[in-house]
Structure 1
Amino acid sequence: MLHKYCRLVVASTVLLILAGSFVTSTDSGLSVPDWPTTYGWNMFTFPPSKMVGGIFYEHGHRLIASTVGLMTIVLAAWLWMTDSRRWLKWFGVAALGAIVAQGLLGGLTVLFLLPPAVSTAHAALAEIFFCMTVAIALFMSPGWIDGYTAVGADDVRLRQLTTATTVVLYTQMLIGATMRHVGAGLAIPDFPWMFGHVVPDHWSPAIAIHFAHRLGALIATLSILATSIYIWMRHADRPELARPATLIIFLVGAQLMLGAITVLSRRDIWINSFHVVCGALVLTTALVIALRSWRVKFANAASVVGIAA
Structure 2
Amino acid sequence: MQNTYRPNSPIPQGSGAEEFSSNLDESLLANLRRCLYALAGLTLFLMALGSATRVMNAGLACPDWPLCYGEFVPSAQMNLQVFLEWFHRLVASTVGFCTIALVGVSWWFRKSVPNWLPWAALAALALVVFQGVLGGLTVIELLRFDIVTAHLGTGLLFFSLVLAIAVGLTPLQTTTVAAHLPWLGLTATLLVYLQSLLGALVASQWALHLCFSESELCGVMNAHLLGIIPASLAALTVAIATWLTPDKTPLLDRLSQLAGLLLATQLAVGSATFRLHLQVEPLTVTHQAVGAALLGTLLAYTLVAWRSRAATRSTESPA
Q: Shorter-chain TM-score: which interval?
A: 0.7 to 0.9
Of residues 183, 187, 192 in structure 2, which corresponds to 1:164?
A: 187
Residue 54 of structure 1 is matched in structure 2 by 81
Residue-by-residue CA offset, 1:33-84 (whole Å, 9 max, x unaligned): 111121112x3xx244642131111111001100111111112222232553
CA distance in 2, matches of 1:38, 1:224: 41
Residue 179 of structure 1 is matched in structure 2 by 202
Letter in 2 for 1:33: P
Letter in 2 for 1:172: Q
Q: 2:311 aligned with 1:281, yes or no?
A: no
Q: Residues 35 and 239 of structure 1: is their aligned pair in 2 closer, same or farther, counting only changes over 3 Å?
A: same
CA distance in 2, matches of 1:296, 1:154: 10
CA distance in 2, matches of 1:105, 1:49: 27
Q: Residues 254 and 48 of structure 1: is their aligned pair in 2 closer, same or farther, counting only changes over 3 Å?
A: farther
CA distance in 1, matches of 2:136, 2:155: 14
Secondary structure of residue in 2 paired with 1:86 = coil
Secondary structure of residue in 1 paired with 2:217 = helix
Decide which moves more: 180-189 or 209-218.
180-189
Of residues 235, 259, 282 in structure 2, which corresponds to 1:270?
A: 282
Of residues 94, 99, 116 in structure 2, which corresponds to 1:67?
A: 94
TM (normalized to structure 2)? 0.82
Letter in 1 for 2:189: T
Question: Contact 1:236 / 1:242 at 8 angstroms: preserved in 2?
Answer: no
CA distance in 2, matches of 1:179, 1:233: 36
1:276 deviation in Å?
Answer: 0.6
Secondary structure of residue in 1 paired with 2:208 = coil
CA distance in 1, matches of 2:310, 2:132: 32
Q: Residues 59 and 235 of structure 1: is their aligned pair in 2 closer, same or farther, counting only changes over 3 Å?
A: farther
- Equivalent pairs counted in the alignment come to 281
CA distance in 1, matches of 2:248, 2:307: 16
Letter in 1 for 2:38: L
Q: Residues 10 and 49 of structure 1: is their aligned pair in 2 closer, same or farther, counting only changes over 3 Å?
A: farther
Q: Residues 26 and 137 of structure 1: is their aligned pair in 2 closer, same or farther, counting only changes over 3 Å?
A: same
Question: Contact 2:263 / 2:294 at 8 angstroms: preserved in 1?
Answer: yes
Letter in 2 for 1:178: L
Pairing 1:71-220 to 2, within 5 Å after superposition: 71-80=98-107, 81=109, 83-143=112-172, 148-150=173-175, 152-153=176-177, 155=179, 157-187=180-210, 206-220=217-231
CA distance in 1, matches of 2:56, 2:63: 15
Q: Residues 158 and 236 of structure 1: is their aligned pair in 2 closer, same or farther, counting only changes over 3 Å?
A: closer
1:160 deviation in Å?
Answer: 2.1
Q: Residues 186 and 218 of structure 1: is their aligned pair in 2 closer, same or farther, counting only changes over 3 Å?
A: farther
Secondary structure of residue in 1 paired with 2:298 = helix
Question: Contact 1:72 / 1:96 at 8 angstroms: preserved in 2?
Answer: yes
Residue 61 of structure 2 is matched in structure 1 by 31
CA distance in 2, matches of 1:121, 1:252: 24
Q: 2:265 aligned with 1:254, yes or no?
A: yes
Q: Residues 181 and 281 of structure 1: is their aligned pair in 2 closer, same or farther, counting only changes over 3 Å?
A: same
CA distance in 1, matches of 2:205, 2:310: 41
Where in structure 1 are there 5+ consecutive unaligned residues?
190-194, 196-202, 303-309
CA distance in 2, matches of 1:174, 1:237: 31
Letter in 2 for 1:180: A
Secondary structure of residue in 1 paired with 2:183 = helix
CA distance in 1, matches of 2:311, 2:101: 26
What's the % identity of the aligned pairs?
34
Q: Residues 186 and 204 of structure 1: is their aligned pair in 2 closer, same or farther, counting only changes over 3 Å?
A: closer
CA distance in 1, matches of 2:247, 2:272: 34
Residue-by-residue CA offset, 1:276-299 (whole Å, 9 max, x unaligned): 110000011110111112215657
Q: Residues 235 and 34 of structure 1: is their aligned pair in 2 closer, same or farther, counting only changes over 3 Å?
A: farther
